[in-house]
Amino acid sequence: MANFWNEILLYGPGFIEASYTVFAITVVTIVVSWICGLAAALAQRSKFKAIRVVAGFYIWFVRGTPTLIQVFIIYFGLPQFGLRLSPFAAGVIALGINSGAYVAEIVRGGLTAIPRGQTESALALGFSPAETMRTIILPQVFRIILPSITNEAISTLKNTSLLSTITVVELTLYAQTLIASTFRPFVFYIAVAVIYLVLTTILTTLASWLERRYAALG
């Protein structure tokens, strides 16, 4: 056990740096996924059929294909069309687009939970459709979908491990480099698991705090 902690402390700075990379990817990816998800959810409610079809295809394709394949399409496929992205950028875009499809379905479920009469009343009072959505509907939707959106954020955090396949030096790839030189897979994979557990616990705690805050305001 002493050797375990000695090795963790020895390589601790590298794990901290890799953890920061995971955190940065997760935060940016969540922002991208919320933008994509909200846009797709609202597009599904558009009065224009073409927009609804595009949004539906996006959700259908992303949810029906493996996340790793989507990462490969962005990182290895786009350069064939002249668009070459860094591993970090490709990873964020791929994970953001992937998570966005699931966020879209979560938001759509939240929107359907809001009585239609609220929108009609707001319009009757002179609110524009955009104002109604921004000031009345979306705040209620956020409160409803918070637990689900938290689960999706946790999944996004764990999916960052997939980016080791495109040379993003996050926790998994860093551990693999250590294992290649020390031949101690148990030690370093356990360390990675513990760090992910800590990060997901922080996310869960933050979400619980937000839920209590919104419950108090309600």
pLDDT tens-digit profile of 44-77? 999 999 999 999 999 999 999 999 999 999 999 9
The answer to whether residue 1 scores a pLDDT higher than 60 is no
The mean-pLDDT minimum among 25-29, 51-55, 182-186 falls in 182-186
Domains of the chain listed by start with CATH number = 19-170 (1.10.3720.10)
The CA distance from 1 to 12, in Å, is: 16
Contact predicate 172/218, CB 8 Å: no
Contact predicate 144/211, CB 8 Å: no
pLDDT tens-digit profile of 121-158? 888 888 888 888 888 888 889 888 988 999 999 999 99
How sure is the predictor about 184, in pLDDT bands with cuts at 50, 70 and 90?
confident
The CA distance from 92 to 29, in Å, is: 5
pLDDT of residue 11: 84
How sure is the predictor about 208, in pLDDT bands with cuts at 50, 70 and 90?
confident
Whole-number Cα distances in Å, 112 to 86, 100, 124, 150: 39, 18, 20, 19
Whole-number Cα distances in Å, 64 to 59, 61, 70, 157: 8, 5, 11, 20
Residue 19, phi then psi, degrees to nearest 5: -65, -40
pLDDT of residue 194: 92
User: Can you give the C-alpha Rg of the chain in angstroms?
Assistant: 21
The answer to whether residue 37 scores a pLDDT higher than 90 is yes
Q: What's the predicted TM-score (pTM) here?
A: 0.91
The answer to whether residue 8 scores a pLDDT higher than 90 is no
